[in-house]
Structure 1
Amino acid sequence: MTAPPPRRIFAGHRVRQLRERLGLSQRTLAKRLGISVSYLSQIENDGRPITAAVLIALANAFPSEWGTVDAEEDTGLLVRTADAASDPTVGAEPMPEDAVRRACAQQPLLARRLVALHDAYRRTQDQLAMFDDRFASSGGEGGAPLPWEEARDWFHAEGNYVDALDRGAEALSVHADTLIERLGDAHGVRVVAQESADHAQRRFDPQSRTLAVDPSLAPESRRFLLAHQLVRLELADRIEAVIDAAPLRSPEARKLLSVGLANYAAGALLMPYAAFRAAAREVRHDIDRLRQRFGTSFEQTCHRLSTLQRPGAQGVPVFFCRVDMAGNITKRHSATRMQFARYGGACPLWIVHEAVAIPDRILVQLAETPDGVRYVSMAKGLVKPTASYLRPARRYAVALGCEVEQAGDFIYADQLELGGAHSATPIGVSCRICPRDNCDQRAFPPAGRRLEVDPDRRLTVPYSFR
């Protein structure tokens, strides 16, 4: 039986909307898709249909922005089948594009089955990562998550974006220099610079309506604490509604989530979504230029970039994390395919560990995960000074990065050789789930693999596995 001819797809308005939303010129988008500017112009004006090759190129270049096609449409099936057929983690040769197109046209049921199996495979990998996280956090005993884990995982499940608070904070339109006046005029709060015996950075007395802020803090930290207090008062009902809808088990987790939501809203107040997103694209995510423009700290600015997930107006997908001197990941979120171990440390080959030891210097790295995806990473070591010699300064590093396909929007990629066969550092998520068999930095063997120990042969580690 002859297969029906492939349906002609005209979706120029979607391509044009995508390009304009991302602030790209036709020349830039055409280069990313591997087509000519004239061909792109014809597509945007529905003068020519979108071919399967261009659909695949769009899905590869913009996985989050082009992921809204209906999975039951021909276009959605083609994109998802191409994704499944090219996944390097399944241990088979990727299918060429023409074979993917033929499979979707001639055997759509088989293609949908391939997509379903690939989705199931990804879920099992996610479950394995979660098992590793839980095993590491409990010493191998399992058990219910701790309150701080509940609150942290809630943000991760929400994609690190809380629409009600983000829009509410953006609508306040309070300038950073008028926070004290707004607290006083609208809420009768008196702000005082005052040290406390317990070294609290911020202390609010609801009876006297007094907010005491540690005067030894940097200006951007003081502004953030003022913004935190303001949104707790202005957006109290929204914060409470979000908490009530969250499936948290303990009252401690609810309180921690309340603090986290107020911090989120404070960042959204100081860095309003639309203005901050536009500025980030304008300066190509240059953190120093952004923090100077918005009066925020380096860490606050990086964190805010990881929250730009508003539907229809997403920012460039990035990952963000904070790592302490012991290698523990104390903050983490990823809008990319990069995932972090939720407990314990990160791969020792990742540049963030070196950054901890070299404060106030930005380090960059091209890294590649076991699935073959390359990332541009920026990391900077930070020092939070204290007001007393008796209290050591806090030292840690923050890291921000994107997939190599987004490198044109990331200034830190300019000095890297992105396409070199050996220019990327091979990293993993956690030794327990990392499949690399030639890593000199491996701390322990991967779970579920059979160990091979040869007493007469010494490797970097005393075992191999298969």
Structure 2
Amino acid sequence: LVARGEGHLTGGLARRLVVALVLPYRAFHTAAEETRYDIERLTDRFGLGYETVCHRLSTLRRPRLRGVPFSFVRVDRAGKMPKRRSATGFHFSRAGGTCPLWNVYEAFAAPGRIRVQVAAVPDGQRYLWTARTVTRHRGGWDEPGKTSAVGLGCELRHASRLVHADGLGLGNRAAATPIGRGCRVCERLDCPQRAVPPPGRALAVDEHTGTFVPYAVEGWGRGWGRGRPGRARYCPDDLGTVGARWT
């Protein structure tokens, strides 16, 4: 195990050295500022891949010549994060699983297209995230490819330095997508995409009602419309069939 760990460490250091050689710090920092961190323009200018450029942007932390502090992540279709680093207050989940509302996962629905999202975490901090898929192929045309999503995010106070923030209306707090650190630890009770029950809360079970959210909990306060958030009362509709009407 020690030898294997040393091998991984050596490989990681070698990759960092190669990136530092092909993307010299000062020249890359200058180009990033000139393009307002336009990732695709930087990939064209330096002739390197999208993931490589994003990772390099997340390392611009040299004193007196700092870039935007980014969090960087690469995820696969199974939801695992084989690569991540954070220079911000954004905390990646350590409990297994991540947030299905995070645009890094939505990137798989539009391969090759950059998706931009203003996301709010439970502590109130907001981030600007860009995400895009990258695909690697091995062998001939009939060989399966390997597709991952690459995310790059910064705190919203730095977002005006990024070209991706233009036209987003960053001052509108209500426009931010509420995300969490993963369903197993997330405290958001009104999330329609929750995969597991909220931690430490008793579920509200009622055979006469249904809920818009997957797991309604006891003591959930009134928040939407005239009743409890997302709760529906089943009753005959105008056609005589059973339907759900919001109460």
Counterpart-to-counterpart distance in 2, 1:431 and 1:359 = 25
1:383 pairs, out of 135, 146, 158, with: 135
Aligned pairs (5 A) from 1:387-466: 387-447=139-199, 449-456=200-207, 457-459=209-211, 460-464=213-217
Is the 2:203–2:215 contact (alpha carbons within 8 Å) kept by the matching residues of 1? no
Following TM superposition, by how much is the alpha carbon of 1:453 offset from its aligned partner in structure 2, in angstroms?
3.0
Post-superposition offset of 1:374: 1.0
Query: Which amino acid letter does the alignment assign opposite residue 355 of structure 1?
Result: A
Instruction: Decide whether the 8 Å contact of 2:70 with 2:153 is kept in 1.
Output: yes
User: Considering only aligned residues, what root-mean-square deviation do their CA atoms show, in Å?
Assistant: 1.9
The whole-number CA distance in structure 2 between the counterparts of 1:429 and 1:290 is 30
C-alpha distance in 2, partners of 1:403/1:358? 24
Selected match of 2:73 from 321, 335, 342: 321
Q: Distance in 1 between matches of 2:144 and 2:210?
A: 42
Q: 1:343 to 1:381 in 2, by over 3 A?
A: farther
1:268 matched to 2:20: yes
2-structure distance, mates of 1:320, 1:438: 28
Q: Give distance in 2, aligned partners of 1:352 and 1:390.
A: 27
Contact 1:329–1:346, Cα closer than 8 Å, also in 2:
no
Q: Distance in 2 between matches of 1:426 and 1:327?
A: 19
Task: State the Cα distance separating 1:270 from its structure 2 match.
Answer: 0.8
Distance 1:334 1:442, change over 3 A: same
Given that residues 95 and 182 in structure 2 are in contact (C-alpha distance below 8 angstroms), is that contact kept between their aligned partners in structure 1? no
Q: Would the alpha carbon gap of residues 428 and 278 (structure 1) be closer, same or farther in structure 2, given more than 3 Å must change? A: same
Q: Is the counterpart of residue 251 in structure 1 residue 3 in structure 2?
A: yes
Equivalent-residue separation in structure 2 for 1:256 and 1:343 (angstroms)? 24
- Select the residue among 314, 321, 330 that pairs with 2:82: 330
* Structural mapping, 1:221-240, within 5 Å: none
Partner SS, residue 329 of structure 1: coil
Question: Of Structure 1 and Structure 2, which has the larger fraction of its residues in strand?
Answer: 2
**1:316 alignment partner, SS class:** coil
Q: Which residue of 2 aligns with 1:295?
A: 47
The aligned residue for residue 57 of structure 2 is 305
Instruction: Describe the shift of the 1:267–1:338 C-alpha distance in structure 2 as closer, same or farther (beyond 3 A).
Output: same
Q: Deviations over 1:273-305 (max 9, x none)?
A: 111112111111101111222221111000111
Q: Distance in 1 between matches of 2:36 and 2:20?
A: 20
**Which amino acid counterpart does residue 256 of structure 1 have in structure 2?**
H
CA distance in structure 2 between the aligned counterparts of 1:272 and 1:465, rounded to whole angstroms = 56
Normalising to structure 2: TM-score of the pair?
Answer: 0.81
Q: Pick the aligned partner of 2:29 from 260, 263, 277.
A: 277
| Structure 1 residue 333 displacement after superposition | 1.1
The residue correspondences of 1:332-371 to structure 2 (distance < 5 A) are 332-342=84-94, 344-371=96-123
Paired residue for 1:372? 124
Q: Is the 8 A contact 2:194 2:215 kept in 1?
A: no
Maintained 8 Å contact 1:329/1:345: no
Q: Which has the larger radius of gyration?
A: 1
Q: Output the amino acid matched with 2:104.
A: V
**2:12, 2:218 → 1: CA distance?**
42
For residues 401-445 of structure 1, give each alpha carbon's deviation from its aligned partner in whole angstroms, at most 9, with x where no partner exists.
211110111111113121113211100111222111111111113
| Inter-CA distance 452–446: structure 2 relative to 1 (3 Å threshold) | closer
Contact 1:382 1:398 in 2 (8 A): yes
CA distance in 1, matches of 2:12, 2:42: 23
- TM, length-normalised to structure 1: 0.44
In 1, Cα distance between equivalents of 2:218 and 2:30: 49
Residue 342 of structure 1: how far off its partner (Å): 4.2
Q: Decide which structure has greater helix share.
A: 1
Going from structure 1 to structure 2, the CA distance change for 1:343 and 1:367 (only over 3 Å counts) comes to same
SS at match of 2:112: coil
- 1:2-401 alignment to 2 at 5 Å? 250-342=2-94, 344-401=96-153
Q: Secondary structure at the match of 1:349?
A: coil
Match of 2:224 in 1: none
Structure 2 segments unaligned to the other structure (5+ residues) = 220-247
Q: CA deviation at 1:458?
A: 3.0
Secondary structure of the residue aligned to 1:352 is helix
